[in-house]
């Protein structure tokens, strides 16, 4: 929850940003105050607090406090430690793993099961699925698409803006686009998603909450991962996006039933024939 507040802080109204700063400075203090008292301490109105909670995906202040308490209790302190220029191998191992585990925990605790179920339903019924991503998100799009082509659904991944812009304009109402963007503010991805929607296709976004991409998507799967400024560490958002892709692939596989299991088994046998036998 704290990572989500930090991620969306720049997009908030001034009064809501003032509230966000207060919570980030003293998160444990919030757990023991009522909305009226918090409004007085921060100098904002109660409707501002209510809007702030809704922007975070909470039904109200009560749910916000519950999820904030869970976030504090489950936090991994070492996630935010930077790798030093003279870091030893044990330190690099610990810090990179801790950061990745922390990011996965944050996404797991905030991912909407309702949105996941809706996304799985759309993907299971799609006649064609296209995966779009730029840069590192393009690598994630390619990885997720690789899982879906095994399910027998026509699918393709595009990482070139010109290519997915043209492809999006050729879709129809039986197609689904999975658009992947950590910030949700990459213009080419947002424009391609909008083009797909204009053609009647559905768009599933794996992205930051409260972003332009999340706002226009048919279904948004929120992964509010704050990328660290530490130049030595890899992006943890990529791991979270891949995990969400795995969830979708498994969900669609289960949705398509025993007939798909038979196909997957035949593919597995075919691949096994291409391996060198290690037995003597």
What integer pLDDT is reported at residue 190 of this predicted model? 97
pLDDT value of residue 164: 97
Is residue 93 included in any domain, yes or no? yes
Q: What is the pLDDT of residue 232?
A: 53
Q: What is the pLDDT of residues 94-137, one digit of tens each?
A: 778 877 887 888 888 778 889 999 999 999 999 999 999 998 89
pTM of this prediction? 0.70
CB atoms closer than 10 angstroms to residue 134: 20
210 and 103 in a common domain: no
One domain for residues 207 and 102: no
pLDDT on residue 78: 39
* Tally of domains in the chain: 3
Q: What is the mean pLDDT of each run of 10 residues along the chain (280 residues)?
A: 82 90 83 89 92 89 89 55 74 79 82 93 96 93 93 93 97 98 94 98 94 95 72 72 96 85 79 75
> Same structural domain for residues 177 and 251?
yes
Q: Strand order in 175-181's β-sheet? A: 155-158, 128-133, 175-181, 202-207, 219-222
Its domain, for residue 188, covers: 113-266
Looking at the fold, whether 164 and 38 belong to one and the same domain comes out as: no
What's the whole-number average pLDDT of the chain?
87
- Give the per-residue pLDDT at 199: 97
Q: Are residues 242 and 154 in the same domain?
A: yes
């Amino acid at each position: 929850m704290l990572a989500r507040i930090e991620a969306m802080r720049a997009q908030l109204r001034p009064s809501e940003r003032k509230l966000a700063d207060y919570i980030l400075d003293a998160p444990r203090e919030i757990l023991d105050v009522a909305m009226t008292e918090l409004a007085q301490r921060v100098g904002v109105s109660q409707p501002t607090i209510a809007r702030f909670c809704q922007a975070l995906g909470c039904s109200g202040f009560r749910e916000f406090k519950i999820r904030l308490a869970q976030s504090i209790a489950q936090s991994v302190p070492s996630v935010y430690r930077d790798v030093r220029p003279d870091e030893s191998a044990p330190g690099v191992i610990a810090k990179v793993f801790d950061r990745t585990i922390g990011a996965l925990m944050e996404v797991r605790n905030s991912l909407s099961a309702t949105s996941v179920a809706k996304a799985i339903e759309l993907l299971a019924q799609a006649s064609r699925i296209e995966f779009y991503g730029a840069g590192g998100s393009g690598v994630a799009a390619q990885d997720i698409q690789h899982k879906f082509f095994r399910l027998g659904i026509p699918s393709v991944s595009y990482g070139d803006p010109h290519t997915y812009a043209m492809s999006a304009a050729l879709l129809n109402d039986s197609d689904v686009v999975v658009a992947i963007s950590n910030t949700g503010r990459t213009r080419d991805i947002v424009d391609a998603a909008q083009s797909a929607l204009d053609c009647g296709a559905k768009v599933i976004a794996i992205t930051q909450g409260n972003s332009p991409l999340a706002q226009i998507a048919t279904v948004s799967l929120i992964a509010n991962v704050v990328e660290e400024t530490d130049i030595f560490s890899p992006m943890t958002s990529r791991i979270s996006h891949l995990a969400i892709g795995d969830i979708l692939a498994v969900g669609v596989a289960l949705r398509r039933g025993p007939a798909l299991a038979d196909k997957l088994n035949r593919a597995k046998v075919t691949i096994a024939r291409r391996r060198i036998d290690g037995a003597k």
